[in-house]
Amino acid sequence: MRLIIPAGRRGLVRASLVLAAAAAAAVGFPGCTSTPVELTAAEQPLSAETVALLGKKGMQAGSPIYVRIFKEESELEVWKAREDGRFYHFKTYPICNWSGGLGPKFQQGDKQAPEGFYTITPQQMKPDSQYHVAFNVGYPNAYDRANGRTGQSLMVHGACKSAGCYAMTDALVEEIYALAREAFRGGQPAFQMHAFPFRMTDEKLARFKGHKHYAFWSTLKQGYDAFETSRVPPAVAVCERRYVVNVSMPANARIDPEGRCPHFERPRLEPFVPLAAEQKLATERVTETGPKTRDMAEVAAATAREAEETVADGQGVSVAQGAAGAVPAAMPPAYGLGFNR
């Protein structure tokens, strides 16, 4: 009998077959082998529950991903692309621990978790991490280096321990790692990870007006708003030692992170309008349970005190901290051009 699999379901069927093969290998077959095959944490297949959720949401295991981090809320989101080229929320994961306060990382040893626009490639995956499994977030990127910032080996990893990293529980980082691994195997050359101080709504940003990082956060908000509007991760360039959000350039274009910004194409921003039958899918949020060691109210209160101290001291915002500047009002229909690496 011939089994006919619809094209849109083949990725899920392949993932299911991998699960079945892994299970068979784990128990072994009599007469075939007496040594069970033990998969490493980095090669664990997606769980049956995860595969089922992908199917429910009309996603394929190998489709592109996009990651957002929110420090104050201690949350990491994974979004997956569907056939329409837009990204849909897959799952929100609790961040067990992160170190430092709200604001970007400046130097090696400050134990500050970074904020900004980062690009993750297959080479940044760390299957042999001492903290279960991990991926390097790509700090320092072009923006960080242009502003003289130092540090290295900052990860999203397991073990719930942080000295400048974003630490998950082992079980949750294993699933996130597997989703990234399958996206790379599906053909995505790199994915964007945007690390924000908090959910960048107008109301939340307004709490910290006058803070020394307010201008930098205002620039990050442009990336947040672009994705919220279009459901496509914005392309980000670095020039004049600042981020420029929502730009498009030829693939072979070279940009000097410290030099004058060139002329950027400014494609039209296409708002995301879900089909009537998919309104629920476009708005629903699945959230994993797990520990969060950072108290959201305490983090916000400490940042508010910093804002008050900045105003009281009459401190300004330096260029190195990231003046918002004038930015384009549109974005390309690509997953990201990787100018921020």
E-strand ranges in 56-159 read 65-70, 75-81, 87-94, 97-98, 116-120, 125-126, 134-136, 155-157
How confident is the model at residue 12, as a pLDDT? 47
How confident is the model at residue 269, as a pLDDT? 86
Residue appearing with tokens 């107008």: 202
Q: Does residue 270 lie within any of the structural domains? A: yes
How confident is the model at residue 248, as a pLDDT? 86
Q: Does residue 38 lie within any of the structural domains? A: no
Average pLDDT by consecutive 10-residue portion of the chain (341 residues)? 40 47 46 72 97 97 98 98 96 97 96 97 97 98 98 97 95 98 98 98 96 97 97 95 90 88 86 91 95 96 91 57 36 36 51
| Of the candidates 14, 24, 179, the residue with the CA atom closest to the CA atom of residue 87 | 179
Q: Does residue 284 lie within any of the structural domains? A: yes
Active site residue 263: no
Q: Please pick, among 89, 157, 194, 211, the residue that the annotation labels catalytic.
A: 157
Contact 312, 304 (CB under 8 A): no
> DSSP secondary structure string, 135-154?
EE---S-HHHHHTT------
How confident is the model at residue 18, as a pLDDT? 47
Q: Please pick, among 96, 132, 160, 165, the residue that the annotation labels catalytic.
A: 165
d(CA 210, CA 308): 8
Beta bridge mates, 69: 76, 195
Q: Does residue 79 lie within any of the structural domains? A: yes
- Residue 88's region, left for phi above 0, alpha for psi from -120 to 50, else beta, is beta
Longest dimension (CA), the chain: 78
Domain count, the chain: 1
* The token pair that represents 329 in the structure block: 């009002």
d(CA 8, CA 296): 41
| Of the candidates 277, 290, 54, the residue with the CA atom closest to the CA atom of residue 182 | 54
How confident is the model at residue 319, as a pLDDT? 35
| Of the candidates 187, 212, 207, the residue with the CA atom closest to the CA atom of residue 319 | 212
Torsion of the alpha carbons at 316, 319, 325 and 330, rounded to the nearest 10: -130
Residue appearing with tokens 């397991």: 158
d(CA 220, CA 98): 19
How confident is the model at residue 31, as a pLDDT? 45
Contact 226, 330 (CB under 8 A): no
Q: Does residue 141 lie within any of the structural domains? A: yes
Residue 83 belongs to a domain with what CATH number? 2.40.440.10
Q: Does residue 77 lie within any of the structural domains? A: yes
Q: Does residue 171 lie within any of the structural domains? A: yes
Domain that holds residue 254: 60-321
How confident is the model at residue 32, as a pLDDT? 54
Q: Could you give the residue ranges of the DSSP H alpha helices within 76-169?
A: 142-146
Q: Does residue 334 lie within any of the structural domains? A: no
Active site residue 165: yes
Q: How, if at all, do strands 242-245 and 116-120 pair?
A: unpaired
**Peptide bond before residue 30 is cis, with ω within 30 degrees of 0:** no
Judged on CB neighbours under 10 Å (0-12, 13-18, 19+), 249 is middle
